[in-house]
Structures are given as structure tokens and as C-alpha cells.
Amino acid sequence: MIRNSRVKALAGLSLLAVLAACASPAPPPPPPPVAYVPPPITLSPRIVEQAAAYRGYMQSAGAVSAGFTDGLQVAQAVKTGAAYESRQLVAGAVAYAAVVALQDPAFVSAVREFAANQAQRQQVTQQILRDPAYAAVIRGSDTAAGLIISALGTDATQVYMNGRAVKQAAYDIQRQKWSLAAVSNREARLAEAKALSASPSLASQDETARLHQVTTGATPLGLTPTSAAPPYTPLVIRGLAVAALAALGEAGDMQMATVQPLLAEPAAGQCLNLAKLNLYQCLAVSKPHYEDVFCVGQHILMDTGQCLIKGSGAAMPYIPPPPAPVKAAAPTKKKAPAKKKG
């Protein structure tokens, strides 16, 4: 009996060992959840190119010389000044405003806090796309807006003040005989100005590369820190919004369809369109070269500069009033000599 029990027990243990050997191994433990890594700061190269095109025009317009010596120089000034398409220039101004805002560490740091959480990043992104003004209440927006106003205002003021110098030249050069001669091919000159106004300008490779380095942090713009209290102009708000999306990692090439509408600003665009209409009217009636110089100074440089100064929210430059004319002293009457008593 005892022996049979032992045999049965050994047989049972052998069967269990065989069954255990045939059983599948236990599944490995599930892998740990993948840690969320926020996307890097991203600004599409196409936005950088628009910023570079804006900068290129503002630099060339601000450098138009008022020292005209012949009609060819006047004709070149008309071409240089007319060579912007209004919507592109506004989009470029917003794009450059975004590049500038990304230079503000306080603003970028505050936006990156939202990027640290995936759900919060998506929520803030949607809020900015629905209402760009949301970016203007993020911590640090006052200093970022201050940089934008200063940078855009400086560019626009340079163009405006250069326009005043060119406009003054329209009066000064009338002492030179060549300025009184009639402009040849007046109709072709007007048609060319309209064609240039309808054609998007290309950004230079050097300026595009420089601004790309700026957005990556490799090359600072060297801006002086400043602050500006709200309310801000729509152009500044849209610059802040695009910069905030870039800091959230939501302004790359894949997001251009949603970011591109933020680059449009109707009020500034209408102002520039009116400046172009005034230019066409001026060129249509101007005949001698000095009148073309007036068109360049007033309706290209001054009007364009004023539109962008207003769009940036910067103050118009102070222009001292002309000195009051000095009144000539009234001649003194000579007294008649006294009669001698005699």
C-alpha cells in the first residue's frame, strides 16, 4: 500500500513537471508609458522669408537718396518705392513682429510652460487661433510687444523721415534745369509702377539666412529691452500670436494653413492700398521730373511709413514747426531839425 502510494505520488509529480514544461511562459510586464516631450520652438521658413522680404523693402525705401542729379535717378526711385504688394508687406511686417517677439525670453518662457503639457498646449493653441488677442495676455507679452513696437516703429519712421527729405528735394531741385524737363514715357512709367505694386517681392538670401539664425537663437537681433502696456494694435497682436504658436511648436510648415490667416491685417492693408492709389493719381498727372520726386516723397515713402507707424502703434516722429518769419522793424522817422530862434 505504502509503496503504491509513493509510486502514484512520484507519477503525479512527474506529470506536473511535464505540464509545467509545456505551459507558455508568463507575459512580460507592460512597457512604461512614453514620456511626453514638448515640440521645439518652430517658425516655418516661409514665414521667415516673408519677414525678410519686408525687411528688404524697408531698408531699400529708407535708403532712397534725396540727392537727385538727373531723371534716371528719379525713375529708379519710383521703381524702388513702388516695389511692394500691400498684402505681402503687411504679412511681412507681422512675420517680422513674430521674429522680434521670439527674442523676448520672458514671453517665450511663459509660453513654453503651456507647451510642457500636451493637453494644455493644444488648448492654448486653439484659443490663439480662435482669438489672436489671447497671446497678448500671456505673461511677458508686455515686453514682447514693446520690442515689436520699437522694431517696426523704427523701420517705419526711417522710411517716413526719408520721405520728408525726398519731398523737400522736389522743391530744391527746381533750381536745376534738368528737373524741369518732361518725363518721357509717362504712361509706361505709371504702368510699371502698377505692375510692381501687384507683384510679390523676393527676399534676399542673406537676409533670410540671417533671420533664420535669429529664430534658432544663434544670432540675436540686438534689440534694446522695452515694455509697452496694452491696448495693442491688431498688427502687434498678430505678431504676438504667431510668436506664441511658434513657441508652442505650432507654427511650422505643417501648420501653415492655420497660421497664414494670422499674417493678414486688413486695416494696415487698406492704408497701404490708399497710399498706392494716391501714388497712381500723382504719377498720372505729374509731368516734369521734380513732380515725380514729389510723388516718391509724399505718396510712396511718407504715406507708406505713416501707415506702418500707425500699424505698429509707435508715435509719429516729432516735427518742429517752421520758425516764425521775423518781422522787419519799422523804419524810424527822423525828426525834423529844430528851428533856430532868432
- Residue 196's SS3 state is helix
Q: Residue 274 is which amino acid?
A: L
Per-residue pLDDT of 184-214, as tens digits, reads 999 999 999 999 999 998 999 999 999 999 9
Measure CA 243 to chain center: 11
Q: What is the pLDDT of residues 62-93, one digit of tens each?
A: 999 999 999 999 999 999 999 999 999 999 99
User: What's the rounded mean pLDDT across residues 282-291?
Assistant: 97
Question: How much is the average pLDDT of 295-312?
Answer: 98
* Cα gap 287→58, rounded to integer Å: 27
Amino acid at 2: I
Residue at grid coordinates 508568463: 26
pLDDT, tens only, 227-256: 999 999 999 999 999 999 999 999 999 999
DSSP 227: -
Q: Given pLDDT bands bounded at 50, 70 and 90, which one contains residue 134?
A: very high
Q: What is the pLDDT of residue 29?
A: 76
Q: 311, 236, 227, 315: which is closest to 275 by C-alpha? A: 311
pLDDT at 8: 55
CA separation for the pair 111, 248 (Å, rounded): 7
Q: Which residues contact 290 (CB under 8 A, 6 or more apart)?
A: 170, 171, 173, 174, 179, 180
State the sign of the Cα–Cα–Cα–Cα dihedral 283, 284, 285, 289. positive
Model-level pTM? 0.85
Helix axes 45-62, 141-172, angle to 10 degrees: 30
| Per-residue pLDDT reduced to its tens digit, 3-26 | 555 545 545 555 555 545 555 666
The residue behind cell 519686408 is 54
What counts of helices (H) and strands (E) characterise the chain? 14, 0
Does 295 have pLDDT greater than 80?
yes
In order, the DSSP letters of 80-134 are HHH---HHHHHHHHHHHHHHHHTT-HHHHHHHHHHHTSHHHHHHHHHHHHH-GGG
Q: How far apart are CA 45 and CA 341, in angstroms?
A: 103
**Angle formed at CA 174 by CA 170 and CA 179, multiple of 5 degrees:** 85
Query: What mean pLDDT is predicted for residues 50-68?
Result: 97
Can you name the residues that pair with 221 across neighbouring β-strands? none
pLDDT in tens, 115-126: 999 999 999 999
> What is residue 11's predicted lDDT score, i.e. its pLDDT?
52
Average pLDDT of the chain is: 90
- pLDDT above 70 as % of the chain: 87
Measured at the alpha carbon of residue 62, what is the angle toward residues 141 and 260, in degrees to the nearest 5?
45
Q: Point out the least confidently predicted range of 59-63, 197-201, 333-337.
A: 333-337
Q: Residue 21: its pLDDT value, please?
A: 56
pLDDT-derived band of residue 334, with 50, 70 and 90 as boundaries? Answer: low
Q: What is the pLDDT of residue 28?
A: 78
In this structure, are residues 167 and 298 in contact, taking their beta carbons and an 8 Å threshold? yes
The residue behind cell 517696426 is 152
CB atoms within 10 A of CB 297: 25
Cβ atoms of 250 and 41 closer than 8 Å = no
d(CA 194, CA 202): 17
